[in-house]
Structure 1
């Protein structure tokens, strides 16, 4: 495996399962140190994965791991986690904002508590984690901020039934747009990444249902896309809103079917995928039905 990230340190939120876990393992295969920040230090009653399991897989993949129990809603906890990472590895080169809260319900059916949780974990945590990492990112030879957030596509369809969630995720994208300019003087890149289709992860299975799993892709497609982004020169590769398969196709990947849970099956589209970013040649999509929007 290419050790393109040997000696680099990644601060990753939400890495106990799913996409975050896959990203951690992929970057570890490239030689990175991975600080895994998540609340899941003990097994969840219904969801698999803990930060300690991810740390074990990171080390098996050839990286060095640091498991940190982290509440991304707590600024002091974020600052302490970043300090712990720097003390262990000497700095931070890559900040990945993967932690997320999910709620696809109409605004008038969204309580103040639910609204605040969405913004604390999506918008606010993205801001505070990036802010805490930034003094170290700008000392890196190739500093990157990567947020799992959608392309900016201001159509009512993305807000009609889901305004609170959508605005909290679009806030991450808007930060990225501004940070790409703001951080340029320090040579730090800011980009986003989003999946075209459902991803085989505990969260997607919970919301989309097991019957849709055959139309999902494996989380490895997001991990490979994240790897491609953070290996790029930060000074040249910033301010982009990426869809996973379009990025990989542009990078020369032609065997996208290998990421499918069931090779050859049509894939169910995810939310927030704009029409002006069409699927690569050969990718077959089914009908959107990941979430009930009514």
Structure 2
């Protein structure tokens, strides 16, 4: 239970939601965890990290400000002596069409989602290259030229797909340095404050808990960084391939059938096909008594 013992994990947007769940998962496996967010005063996540068995620090940081990002990374390294994993989790979501979106809202998404992830990566890389198993994990979907993802929320989609291009490009750029870069995205919607604010009843009806993303993220960042890189991962697919069969544990609404989960945006057709293949294989194995 200590696959991250002695390792330092830095998580942007790490005080709540998916970021918090990843922080606690890593802490339970021995990690030293730095969480960065605009507001950290009064947040409970550091106490939760310590209670889970890790060491923790919360750092106030506006991800849009490069100086603050650089200072936050430097503080984490001073605190814990190294940096082994960067999780680019911080995201701003504004679901509006082009004519409805203000330029201030556009800048907020672009500066948080795309520029913020780039800045965190830029400042983390010198430290990650010194790690024996350096990982960058970006919470974003696989870029797709499919009109359905752009027709309602162009600016948000463009910012998240840009994160995906960066995640893929970093794999090519950093592989010679032994640093892995992968992306992770949920199959279902995830029960977070952001989901509660999206105003879409279908998305909010039957989501999964953030722990499914945390478990998938943990599996990814504990792989060999020289071998597992450049992947666009779906949370359920990662866990099924890792041998997980119990997905009821992740349901925010107990008893939700797979077919009734609230589906997330932007799962690519080939990703869905692979997931369905795994579901069928596990169902067949269970039916035959081999699962």
Match of 1:267 among 261, 266, 290: 261
Structure 1, unaligned runs of 5 or more: 44-49, 283-294
CA 1:22–1:133 in 2, change beyond 3 Å: closer, same or farther? same
> For residues 58-77 of structure 1, what are the structure 2 equivalents within 5 Å?
58-77=49-68
CA 1:163–1:29 in 2, change beyond 3 Å: closer, same or farther? same
Match in the other structure for 2:288: none
The number of residues matched between the two structures is 274
Match in the other structure for 2:32: 33
Q: Shift of the alpha carbon at 1:210?
A: 7.5
Contact 1:152 1:241 in 2 (8 A): no
Match in the other structure for 1:288: none
1:277 aligns with 2:276: no
Match of 1:159 among 142, 145, 150: 150
Q: Deviations over 1:89-112 (max 9, x none)?
A: 111000000000001111121111
Distance, in Å, in 1 between the alignment partners of 2:11 and 2:203 is 28
Distance, in Å, in 2 between the alignment partners of 1:66 and 1:156 is 42
Distance, in Å, in 2 between the alignment partners of 1:13 and 1:134 is 15
TM-score by length of 2: 0.91
Contact 2:5 2:29 in 1 (8 A): yes
> For residues 2-81 of structure 1, what are the structure 2 equivalents within 5 Å?
2-42=1-41, 50=43, 53-81=44-72
Q: Shift of the alpha carbon at 1:261?
A: 1.5
> For residues 194-273 of structure 1, what are the structure 2 equivalents within 5 Å?
194-208=185-199, 213=204, 215-265=206-256, 266-273=260-267
Q: Deviations over 1:137-162 (max 9, x none)?
A: 00000000000000122201111111
1:172 aligns with 2:171: no
Contact 1:213 1:261 in 2 (8 A): no
Distance, in Å, in 1 between the alignment partners of 2:94 and 2:200 is 15
Distance, in Å, in 1 between the alignment partners of 2:203 and 2:132 is 42
Contact 1:104 1:162 in 2 (8 A): yes
2-11 vs 156-165, greater mean Cα deviation: 156-165
Secondary structure of the equivalent of 1:125?
A: helix
TM-score by length of 1: 0.90
Match in the other structure for 1:291: none
Secondary structure of the equivalent of 1:247?
A: helix
Contact 1:214 1:261 in 2 (8 A): no
Distance, in Å, in 2 between the alignment partners of 1:208 and 1:64 is 36
Q: Deviations over 1:218-273 (max 9, x none)?
A: 11000000000000000000000111001111111111121111232121101111
Distance, in Å, in 2 between the alignment partners of 1:183 and 1:268 is 36
Secondary structure of the equivalent of 1:109?
A: coil
